[in-house]
Structure 1
């Protein structure tokens, strides 16, 4: 049962009357809110005072705010679902319109590319674009690898061509340059150098054998400084002469000692050139077959 209203007292002041009217309005709001919350059951009895009123007002305000948020969320969710349903209904039609418009604007090359893509899809046994895109990427990678191999083979061919040109120039130089021609008196010169080398070797051995006797003479009588210097200069001159002759002989060791041998060396180099040419042709034929 509701408590008696302070407005019923005839001696109440206007300010208290306003406060009492506000409290009565708040209690009416709380009673209505409690009835909604406990419906269809009755509201249980409780102590009605100012503190209880403040607590119930705060609770009712929080509950109303939560109800409003829930209602807003529910309305937003319903609107989103309706939008998705409408979008799902319109999407096939939009796709068809887009595809029709694209097909209308395709030129002859575009139509051929589209047909090729369709044939590729059928050949791969898939209707999705993901597998086709992966296959195209793999084909592009394989094409790049093949192009890289072709480039390397071309580089190798260019290198072999340069080497062949160098060999041809060297062979031509061997044919025409007089510096590579065998002197007509090479045999006589070689024999003379050999004799000179043998003579110098014998002289060097003779001087080596004379050293002990000279040392004994030095120990008994003792040579002069002038004699030692002369002997040393003589030995140095002999060594220089021997080294010069040996160097001149080594320069001719790589060449045949006769004209026939030089011709054989030329033919050997020419055969080597022909082998390199055949090797290059085989590599190029193998590349073309790939």
Structure 2
């Protein structure tokens, strides 16, 4: 009942049950905290209890969750400790059995050297010699390794332990190492990108801070200039602030008037908009708009393209008669003159060609007939 004042009486059974449950939870929390801080050097036993102003439902809920998580972690650690202790005891027992078997084999070998009859113990020696032989073989291999080989074996074993590979081979470890190297390169690339973004943000932040400082300085200069102008006007002077230039960040004085005029224009246009819409609808009803479709537009486009191609053909044909006079008779006369000139040029070409052929052709000598 810690959530209620000491002098308050409880008459409701539900409130009494809730108070009892809360008191039980706080008692559990106090016991748990006392067990946690038992070994601490606290001046008094009240140091392990929450202060009165912290004894509320939210703190109780958080402490209960923390106590449950702590107990679960303690149980997990105890289970792990028991498993490790059992594994260690098993390993020790196996080591003790191996040592006993080694001693017995050494004793049997000693008896063989001394010439004793050990025929009955030959089977036991063969059965006991397997694990010892494997252990001795591994020890011999490990001891016969070179320094570089032992370092490579240790590195391979440590890498397998770090990667969590139960049966390591050079191929598996190499693939794992290549995968980790690729992830490392990706992380380095991501770090470079984040660093680039951070530098860009720092640069933009510095520019924004510089701009803000300029704005503040401009406002301060404007206020100072206005105060100086006011003082000079009162004193009858010519204005000592004329030398300082006006701030480029100061709003123009005509901006409020422009804003007001624009607002009035928008309001007047908005008031005329319904009338204009009504006029448009009435015109649509009286005049009527053609019901165009996509097929009509496509047909008109194809007809336009056909006319355009015909126009290009006619332009080509008309271009051949460029330079002729507009009169038909004069054009025919000029055409006949051009044809006569063409015939004359053709005849001259043929005559020149014949003379060229005659000049370039070799002269054939006549052969006299032989007289027998």
Q: Which has the higher contact order (CA 8 A, sep 6+)?
A: 1
Question: Normalization by structure 1: what TM-score?
Answer: 0.32
Question: Normalization by structure 2: what TM-score?
Answer: 0.25
Larger Rg over CA atoms: 1
